[in-house]
Chain A
Amino acid sequence: MKIAVITFPGSNCDHDCYRALKLLDGVTPEFRWHRDTSLGDVAAVILPGGFSYGDYLRAGAIARFSPIMDAVVEFAEAGGPVVGICNGFQVLCEAGLLPGALVRNESLRFQSHPVHIRVETTRTPFTSEYEEGQVLRIPIAHGEGNYHAEPEVLAELEGTDRIVFRYSTADGKLTPEANPNGSAHHIAGIVNEHRNVLGMMPHPERAVEELLGPTDGRGLFQSLRNHLTAGATT
C-alpha cells in the first residue's frame, strides 16, 4: 500500500519519514509536492517536520494554503489516516483539522533532545501496538511546540480520550521538569474527534533504527500499517 509524504517548501523531515515508512513491510512511501492537487491512490498521509515557508508569520500558517492541503483535508474528512509530526502538527492545527495551536516554547529556546512520552490511549490507528501507560523515548526538535487550547477544548480532549501522548518522566510521572515546552496538560500529541488525524511534536521517524538510538517510534508506524492492512482485508 502507498503512503504519501507531503513536501512543502521548507520541509526537512520528509526524507526521514520516507525512510521510516520504507522499513515497513508492504508499505511504499511516495512524495507529494505542495503544488500537487491530488493525493492519488494512497492509504495514509504524513505531514513531515521542518520549517514550511520558513515558519514565517506562524509555524504552519502559510503551508495550510498549499494546493495539496485541500486534498489532505478532503482525505481526512473522509476518514483517511493523517499524521502530522512537528511542523506537520502545526499545519494540521492551522488548517483546523486539529484544535488548539502550538506557540513558542516557554524557555524561548529551540529544544532538541530525546524526551519521554507516555502513551495515553491505544484506541487510535497509530498506537494500537503500544500499551497504555507505556513510556517511549523519542527526540523532539522544535521552537514552537507549546500546545495551547481553550479550557473547554482541553476538557473535551481529556473527556473523549483524545490526548494520545503526554510528556513525562522515564517512569511515567507528569512533573514540570518533564514538560520541555510548557504544553498545556503535558500534551505531546492529540487526535481529532474521529480519531483518524494525529498531531504530535516528537519525531517517531527518528526513533526506528538501533544504530541511531532507541527504536520506540517503530510502534507508531507498525500500528498504522496494521490498521491499514486490517482495513484492506476486511
Chain B
Amino acid sequence: MSTPSEQDGALAAPRETPPPDPRPGDPEITAVVVADHGLSEEEYERILGILGRTPTFTELGVFSAMWSEHCGYKNSKRLLQLLPTKAPWVIQGPGENAGVIDVGQGLALAFKIESHNPPSAVEPYQGAATGVGGILRDIFTMGARPVAVLDSLRFGDLTSGRNRYLFSGVVKGVGDYGNCVGIPNIGGEVFFDRAYDGNPLVNAMALGLMKEEDLILGEASGVGNTLMAVGARTGRDGIHGATFASEELSEDSDEASRPQVQVGDPFTEKLLLEASLELIKSGHIVGIQDMGAAGLTSSASEMAGRAGSGVVLDTALVPVRELGMTPYEILLSESQERMLVVAKRGHEEHVRKILEKWELEAEPVGEVTDDGHFRIEEDGVVVANIPALPLTDGCPTYEREGIEADEVRELRERDLTEFLSPKGDLTEDFLELLGSPNVASRRWIYEQFDTTVRTSTVIRPGGDAGVIRIDGTDRGIAATTDCNGRYCYLDPREGAKAAVAEAARNLVCTGALPTAVTNNLNFGNPLKPHIYFQMREAVLGMAEACELFETPVTGGNVSLYNETDGLAIYPTPVIGMVGVLDDVSKTVGHAFRAEGDCILLLGENREEIGGSEYLYRLHDGLVAGHPPVVDLLAERRLQHAVLALVQNRLLHSAHDCSEGGLACALAQSAVGGEGGPLGVEVSLHDRLAPVAVLFGESTGRVVITVDPASEGEVLGMCRNHGVSARVLGTVGAPHGEFRVDTPSGHLRTPVDDVFQRYYDALPNLMDQDPDIPEGDIHA
C-alpha cells in the first residue's frame, strides 16, 4: 500500500525488481520526445521523482496516457471535487467505470455519459459508433445489462455541407452501433450553433440494470490471480487516443489524424456483453474493466491502483492483430471491444470456456502482485516498472486562473429592448422559429435508432425524457440529457444551473423523481483564463443545483481542448439525469390527448429573451443578453407539484418550456400525438412584450393539460405547493386552428401547418447534399 509521500511522487525507485533497461530500437528520451508526449517540464520532473531515474520509452508513453486530461483529469479534478456525490441511494460514486444507484426492490442502475468528440470530428461514423461502444462497456463491466442509450450531440449550423456530413455520419454511427447490439435509444438532444463548427460534440450515455448483488468493480485484487485479455485482438488503432482527446484540433487535423481513429465492431460487442455478464455471474472472476482510453495501460494500472495491489503483464502474451507490435504500441492501443479480466487463480480454463461459447478469445497475460507496481515485460524482459498508485492518482492537478472574457461580459450586458418587437408578422416569426433545427422535431434522427428493442420502452424519443419499465416490477426509469451551451457561454454559472433544472423538469414531466446525475464537461483549452473561468463557474452552478435537487453526481467525463484554430466551443456541461417512477403506468407524455382538455401553465412568464433561439434564428445569429434566470427553490417546488399531479393521475400531458419558448412548447404538444395534430385555443394576459411571452425562454415553466373537471383540484394542488398556475385555454379540434392571443399580438395558423413545419424542417435541411471529404466511404 502507498504512503502519502508516494502520492507526492517522492518515492525512490522500486526496491525488489530491477529497473528496466532501454529496449533496443526504442527512441532515446529527449526533451523533444517528452514534449511530443504532451508532458510539461514540471510533470516530467515528477516522473523522474517517482521513478528515481529516466523513464524508458514505454514508461514515458504510459505516463503520457495516464496523465493526459482524458485519464488524469489534471485540469478538472479540483473542480470536480466541488460536486455533491453522496446520497443514501448512491451505491457507487465517481471513480469506477460507471456510477450505480439503488432503484428499489434489490435492483441497481448503473449509468454514465462519455464523450467521443475529437474522433467524431475526423471520422463521424466510427467516432460516434465507438463512443456508444465504449459507454456500453462501462455499463456491463459493472455487472449491469445495458437497457438504454441516449445521445447528446452538438454541431455547427446545418447550412454548411460539412456540418450536414458530420451530423448525418454521427447519427448513423450512433444508430448502427446501438441497433446492432440491441439497446434501445430512448432520447437525448441535439443543438446546432456556429460555435460548434469544427468541434462537434458527441456525448453518449448508457443505463444498465442489475441485481444489487451482481455489482462487480474494476479491481485487480488477490495476489496470484490471473489477468486475462478478453475479446477482440489488439491492433495499432487509436494509439494515443487519450492524448489526442486532450489536444486542440487544427485545420490539418482531418487527414493527419485519421489513422488514430478506432473502428467499431458492434457484433463483437454484443458477444462481449453476453460473455461478460455470464462471466460475472459465474463467480470465476474478481474484477473486469474495459480497455478504453489508453487501453491496456489504464485498465491494468487503474485496477491495480483501486485494489492497492500491483500487476505484472507480458505484452508478448497479448493476442495481436498485427505482427511486430512493440510493448509501447500494445500498451497504448485503443482497439475496441476488449476487456481486461482478473480471473481467480485456477479458474482460467472456465473463463476461456465461457468466452469460447461466445466465439471470443481469453488469454492470460499476467497476474496480480503485492508490490504495488505496474510492471510490464516483453517475453520476460522488464520494459516498464512504475509504482501503480502514483501513476493513476499522482497526476499533478492544477487550479488555474479564471477570468471572464471582456467580450462575453459586454454581450451579456447588451440592451435587448429593440428586439422585443416582432421582426415581421408574429405568426411568420413563430413558424420560422418552430422550423429551427433547435426547436423542430428530431424524428429524422431517432427514426434511425431502434427505440423499441428489448420491449421495455414506455416513452420513446420525441418527448421530454425517455422512459423504460423495469422488467418484473411496477417501476420505471426515466432519463434525459440537457444543456444549452448559449446560456452557459453568456453566464456559465446560470447556464449550468439551467441545465440541471431543465433535466429535472424533463424527468418530472414524465412522472419520474429526479435521482442522480452523470455529467459531461465539454470545454475549450483550460490553460486559457477565460475558459478556466467557464469551467469553474459551470461546476459551481451545477454543484449548487445538484445539491438542492438532491441529485448527486455519480460520475461522468471531461472533454477539454475543444477548439479549432483558437476558437473554443461554448462551454457545454451536459447533464445526464436519471429518475425513478414507482408506478410506471402513471407516466405522462408531452402530447395533448383530447379536444376540450384544459391547458394550464405552471410557472411564470418573464421578459427574458437573452440567449434565446429567437434571437439567434431571427436576428442573424445574435447571441447576447442575460440568459434566463434560474430560481432553484421555485424549480424544486415545481418538481414536487408536477410529481404530485402525476401521482394522482390528474395529468393528460406535461411538457417543459425550453428553446423556442411557450409558443413552441404549445406547438410541440399540439402536434406530438400519434393520432394527428390537435388545435390550440390560448389567451395570454401577461403585460409583457409578445415576443417575450411567446418566444422567451424563462425557466421553471411546464405546460400541462387536464380534464376540465379536475381543473379546480389541479389549481388547488399547485397553490398548496407554492407554484403559480393558471388556465391558458383549451385543446382544440383535430386539424383545427392553432391560436394564441396576447394583449398586443396573435398567432393564428392551421395546426396542420404547424405540424408540417415541425416535422419537415430537419428532413428538408438534410435533403441538401453533404460535403463529402475525399475518400470517405460512409457518406
Contact = CB atoms under 8 A, between A and B. Distances in A.
B358 interface: yes
B458 interface: yes
A215 to B, nearest CB: 12
Interface stretch (B177-185, B378-386, B645-653, B725-733): B177-185
Nearest to A141: B450
Contacts of B268: 54
A211 B584 contact: yes
Centre residue among A13, A20, A49, A53 by max chain B CB count within 10 A: A13
Contact of A16 (B181, B359, B453): B453
Nearest to A108: B172
A55 B182 CA distance: 13
B245 to A, nearest CB: 27
Contact of A53 (B267, B457, B458, B469): B267
A50 B182 contact: yes
Taking chain B's interface residues, is the majority helix, strand, or loop, or is none over half, making it mixed? mixed
A208 B446 CA distance: 22
B176 interface: yes
A181 to B, nearest CB: 12
Contact of B358 (A9, A12, A51, A205): A9
A110 B179 contact: yes
Interface in B224-273: 265-268, 270-271
B266 A54 contact: yes
B454 interface: yes
Centre residue among B182, B446, B585 by max chain A CB count within 10 A: B182
A162 interface: no
Taking chain A's interface residues, is the majority helix, strand, or loop, or is none over half, making it mixed? mixed
A139 interface: yes
A139 B585 CA distance: 21
Contacts of B449: 110, 112
Contact of A112 (B359, B448, B469): B448
B3 interface: no
A206 interface: yes
A110 B359 CA distance: 27
Given A9-B358, A211-B585, A54 B265 contact: yes
Given A110-B176, A211-B458, A211-B469, A141 B452 contact: yes
A212 interface: yes
B448 A109 contact: yes
A110 B175 contact: yes
Contacts of B585: 211
B451 interface: yes
Contacts of A58: none
B447 interface: yes
Contacts, number: 89
Contacts of A123: none
Interface string A106-127: 0001111110000000000000
Contact of B448 (A49, A110, A205, A206): A110
A7 to B, nearest CB: 9
Contacts of A16: 453-455
A113 B180 contact: no
B455 A141 contact: no
A196 B453 CA distance: 26
Interface string B579-590: 000001100000
Contacts of A20: 455
A55 B455 contact: no
Contacts of B455: 16, 19-20, 205-206, 208-209, 212
Interface in A189-234: 203, 205-206, 208-209, 211-212
Contacts of B176: 110, 143
Nearest to B168: A109
A13 B447 contact: no
Interface in A153-205: 203, 205
Given A19-B455, A51-B267, A209-B455, A13 B448 contact: no
A12 B267 contact: no
B584 A9 contact: no
Contacts of A114: 674
B453 A12 contact: yes
Interface residues of A, number: 31
A205 B175 CA distance: 21
A49 B179 CA distance: 11
Interface in A1-33: 9-10, 12-13, 15-16, 19-20
B451 A12 contact: no
A56 B267 contact: yes
A140 to B, nearest CB: 10
Contacts of A54: 180, 265-268
Interface residues of B, number: 33
Contacts of A49: 453
A132 B123 CA distance: 49
A105 B663 CA distance: 37
Nearest to A13: B453
Nearest to B448: A110
A139 B454 contact: no
Interface in B345-382: 358-359
A212 B186 CA distance: 13
Nearest to A203: B452
Centre residue among A49, A112, A209 by max chain B CB count within 10 A: A112
Contact of B270 (A51, A56, A143): A51
Contacts of B265: 54
A141 to B, nearest CB: 4
A20 B584 CA distance: 20
B180 to A, nearest CB: 4
B713 to A, nearest CB: 26
Nearest to B469: A211
Nearest to B587: A211
B452 A15 contact: no
Contacts of B270: 9-10, 12, 51
Nearest to B270: A10
Interface string B261-299: 000011110110000000000000000000000000000
Nearest to B444: A109
A110 B445 CA distance: 10
Nearest to A20: B455
Interface string B161-196: 000000000001001100111100000000000000
Nearest to B468: A212
A212 B182 contact: no
B175 A51 contact: no
A9 B274 CA distance: 10
Contacts of A205: 455
Nearest to B265: A54
A113 to B, nearest CB: 5
Nearest to A210: B585
Nearest to B360: A9
Nearest to A53: B267
Contacts of B452: 112, 139, 141, 203, 206, 212
Given A110-B448, A111-B447, A112-B451, A13 B182 contact: yes
Given A51-B267, A53-B267, A12 B181 contact: yes
26 contacts: A9-B270, A10-B271, A12-B180, A12-B182, A12-B454, A15-B454, A51-B180, A51-B266, A51-B267, A53-B267, A54-B265, A109-B447, A110-B176, A110-B449, A112-B448, A112-B450, A113-B443, A113-B447, A114-B674, A141-B179, A141-B453, A206-B452, A209-B455, A211-B585, A212-B456, A212-B457
Q: Please list the 6 inter-chain residue pairs (A to B) with the smallest Cβ-Cβ separation, ordered nearest first.
A: A12-B182, A54-B267, A51-B180, A141-B450, A16-B455, A110-B448
Given A12-B182, A141-B450, A141-B451, 9 more contacts: A9-B267, A16-B455, A19-B455, A51-B270, A54-B268, A55-B180, A113-B447, A141-B179, A143-B176
